[in-house]
Structure 1
Amino acid sequence: MAEVSAEARIEAPAGKVWARLTDFPSYGEWNATHTSFPSGGPETLETGATFTENMKLMGFPAEVLWTVEELEADRALAIRGKGPMGVIVSTRYSLAADGEATTVRIEGEFTGAAVSLMAGKLKDSATAALTESLRKLAGLVA
């Protein structure tokens, strides 16, 4: 298993950050691992919704079938997906209002046999991608 996380304070209200975070057509503008949604994002963002995302991590392309596991508007979005080689990926975005700013935390987890072979490199690459994603997200909403 490999666990990763990143956190940033974004100088924008939680509602504005949430709107960008859940605007799937513009996902590629800030998400450093995202390459496309072959069938678009989820039709309706709700618990149980599914969607497919093409991603790139450590230079390798991957297709992940995501399911929304937790959804609380302006506060939390958790998704869990199945990727190649039996890898299970979990991502949780949490937002905490802090006056006119928002603290955004992204936590990720990778499990599966293939992960154990490259856990260290995966952690480094994924952490860098999360940090870059938060930087880009902040630039779009601030």
Structure 2
Amino acid sequence: MAEVSAEARIEAPAEKVWAQLTDFSSYGEWNATHTSFPAGGPDKLELGATYAENMKLMGFPAEVAWTVDEFEAGRVFGVRGKGPMGVSVFNRYTVVPDGGASTVRIDGEFTGAAVSLMAGKLKDSATAALNESLRKLGGLCV
């Protein structure tokens, strides 16, 4: 298993950050691992919603089939996915108001036999991607 996380303070109200974070049409502008949504993002972001995403991590392309399994509008959404080679992925996005700004945290987890072979490199690459994503998200929100 490889667990990763990143957190950043974004100088924008939580509502604005949440709106950007959940605008699937603009994922490519801030999400460093995202390449496309083959059939578009979820029709409605809610528990049980499903969608497919093409991603790139450590230079490898992958399609992940996501299911929203945690959702609190304006604050948290978590997705679990199945990727290639039996890899399971979990991502949780959390937005916490902090005065006129927001604290945004992304937690991720990768499990599966293929992960154990490259857990260290995967953790480093994914952590760098999360930090880059938060930096870009912050730039879009101010």
Q: TM-score, normalised by structure 1?
A: 0.99
Residue in 2 aligned with 1:75? Answer: 75
Residue in 2 aligned with 1:103? Answer: 103
> How much is the aligned-residue C-alpha RMSD, in angstroms?
0.4
Residue in 2 aligned with 1:29? Answer: 29
Residue in 2 aligned with 1:141? Answer: 141
Structure 2: how far apart are the matches of 1:77 and 1:30?
A: 17
Structure 2: how far apart are the matches of 1:108 and 1:123?
A: 10
Q: TM-score, normalised by structure 2?
A: 0.99
Structure 2: how far apart are the matches of 1:93 and 1:40?
A: 19
Structure 2: how far apart are the matches of 1:115 and 1:13?
A: 37
Structure 2: how far apart are the matches of 1:7 and 1:72?
A: 19
Identify unmatched segments of 5+ residues in structure 2.
none
**Alpha-carbon offset, residue 44 of structure 1:** 1.2
Residue in 2 aligned with 1:54? Answer: 54
**Alpha-carbon offset, residue 73 of structure 1:** 1.3
**Alpha-carbon offset, residue 50 of structure 1:** 0.3
1:85-124 matches, cutoff 5 A: 85-124=85-124
- Count of aligned residue pairs for this structure pair: 142
Tell me the secondary structure at the aligned position of residue 43 of structure 1.
coil
Structure 1: how far apart are the matches of 2:30 and 2:50?
A: 21
Identify unmatched segments of 5+ residues in structure 1.
none
